[in-house]
Structures are given as C-alpha cells and as structure tokens.
Structure 1
Amino acid sequence: MRNLMTTLAVLALLVTLLPGAALAQDPVYEDETVFDFDADVVEGQLVRPDGENIMGQRGRDAASLIRIRPDFIPEMVRSVEEL
C-alpha cells in the first residue's frame, strides 16, 4: 500500500511538471531591428538643475587625523588589573 502511494505521488508530480517544461521555449528575435523616427516630431527640453556648480579646493594634502596604533598593550594591562 505504501509503495502504491509513493508511486502515485511521483506520477502526480511528473504530470504537473511536464506541461510547464514543454511550453517553456525561448522567444525568437530578428537579427536587426530598425526604428524610423523621420516622420515623427519629437519635442522636449533639456532639464538641468537650477543654480551654479561650486568647485572646492582640490589636491590639498593634509595630515591624516587617524593615528594607527601598533598595539593595545596598556589597555590590556589595565583590563587585567581590574579583574
């Protein structure tokens, strides 16, 4: 009985999956598509932001505000002393 139920479940699964696989075909496209806009009048305007562009200083070399520490030994010693 269990074997029959398993077989029926597998068959039901296959029956539901096969039609979808048969219909899934890739669309066929032409090699070249040409759009002709000569007879059409295209109207519009160029959209730009209102205001001016302000350029800042470039190429200014400043010292880094980040100091890279080689180790954290004093902090580790302090944390051990607090225990």
Structure 2
Amino acid sequence: MKRMGGLIAGLLLLSPLAASAEDRVEYEKHTEINFEDDTIQGDLTRPDGELVDAKGKVTHSNLVKVRDTFRDQVLESVGEL
C-alpha cells in the first residue's frame, strides 16, 4: 500500500514538469515587424485636464536670534578671570 501511495505521489510531482516541457515557447533573438503594406493613421491623444504648477520656493525666516548683549556678556566674563 505504501508503494502505491509513493508511486502516485511521484507521478503527481512529475506531471507539472512534463506539462511545462510540452508548453515551452522559444523566441527568436531578433523580431522584425513589417508595416510596408499597411497604412497607419492616428491622432495625438492627451489626457483631459490642466497642468498644475507647484508652489514656488518658500522663504523661511532665520530661527537663530543673535543677542545684542552677547559681546558685552563675553567681555564681562573675561574681566572676572
């Protein structure tokens, strides 16, 4: 009984390999399409809508505030040495 189950399992595992070998598609390296006898007509199609411009460059204020009394405070601290 175990032999029969193993045989069936083996056949089920090998069946996709056999099917894929039959369905193999081979493509040529170079494909040439000839449109000499055909007239091709068409229009340029564009999407309906408008082009929306993005916002311009945003200017930010400087977040660093220079203290007016900084120089005076440095000179005072030097005098304390």
The runs of 5 or more residues in structure 2 that have no matched partner are 62-81
SS of alignment partner, residue 42 of structure 2: coil
Rg larger in 1 or in 2?
A: 2
User: C-alpha deviations, 1:4-53, integer Å up to 9, x for none?
Assistant: x3222111111233233123234221111000112211112111234543
The runs of 5 or more residues in structure 1 that have no matched partner are 64-83
2:17 equivalent in structure 1: 21
1:60 equivalent in structure 2: 58
How many residues are aligned here?
59
Distance 1:42 1:62, change over 3 A: farther
Of the candidates 33, 44, 57, which is equivalent to residue 35 of structure 1? 33
SS of alignment partner, residue 58 of structure 2: coil
SS of alignment partner, residue 56 of structure 2: coil
Q: TM-score, normalised by structure 2?
A: 0.52
Q: Runs (4+) of structure 1 moved beyond 3 Å?
A: 49-52
Distance 1:18 1:54, change over 3 A: closer
Root mean square deviation of aligned Cα: 2.4
Q: TM-score, normalised by structure 1?
A: 0.51
2:77 equivalent in structure 1: none
